[in-house]
Amino acid sequence: MKLSDVAQVVRSKNAGPRRLTFDIMFGSDEDYRRVAQSPAINAEIIGGLYGVPAAEVTIFPYPVGRAIKIVLARKIMAGDPGDFDVYGAQQHAPLLGIEL
């Protein structure tokens, strides 16, 4: 099963111009638990998807919001020459296919 089959929201956005933050949100506590406990949600795998070291990936389980937050460093600061997504709103796609 892929993450996009279970999640209700998978989104990315800047958290300041130097960080990207991803929110994965679920429609039920059961779905949340299934994904939060999945070994596929780890810093190694997510770092690999974005080409950053696992040490630079932070994962926050957020049960009260039935959500998982992921934060990592942008390779290019928002708006710098060579940037491709100033708001960071289209960086979620690699997460969709994570096999749980």
Partner 1 sequence: MSASGRVLREIRANRRPLRLLGASGQLGYGVPTPAFNAGLARKPDMIGCDMGSIDIGPTYLGKGEMATSPESTRRDLRKVLRGARSLDIPLIIGSAGSAGAAAHLNATLDIIRDIARTDGLSFRMAVIPADTDRAMLLEAVRAGRVTGLDDMPALTEQDVNDASNIVGQMGTGPFRKALEMDVDVIVAGRACDTGIFAALPTALGFPTGLSVHMAKIVECASLCCVPGGRDSILAILDDDGFVLESMNPDRRATPTSVAAHSLYEQSDPYTVHEPDGSLDLTNARYVAVDDRRARVSGAAWKDSIDPTIKLEGATKIGERAILLCGSADPRFIAQSKELLPKVAIVVRDLVCEDTTEDYTLHFRVYGVDGVRMNVPPNEAMPGEVFIMAECIAPTRERASEVVRTCKQFLLHYGYPGRLSTAGNIAFPFTPPEISVGPAYRFSIYHLLHVSDVDALFPVEVETL
In the complex, least distance from residue 17 CB atom to partner 1, rounded to whole angstroms: 5
Kindly list the distances between the CA atom of residue 68 and the CA atoms of 23, 26, 82, in Å, as whole numbers in the listed order.
Answer: 6, 9, 29
Is residue 31 helix, strand or coil?
helix
**Pick from 7, 16, 87: which is nearest to 41 by CA?**
7
The only residue of 7, 36, 50, 98 in contact with partner 1, by rule CB under 8 A: 50
Give the whole-angstrom CA distance, residue 94 versus residue 91: 7
The only residue of 5, 39, 51, 99 in contact with partner 1, by rule CB under 8 A: 51
31 binds partner 1 (CB under 8 A): no
- Judged by the rule CB under 8 A, the positions of this chain that interact with partner 1 are 13-21, 23, 25, 49-51, 58, 60, 62, 64-67, 69, 71, 73-75, 77-82, 84-87, 90-91, 93-94
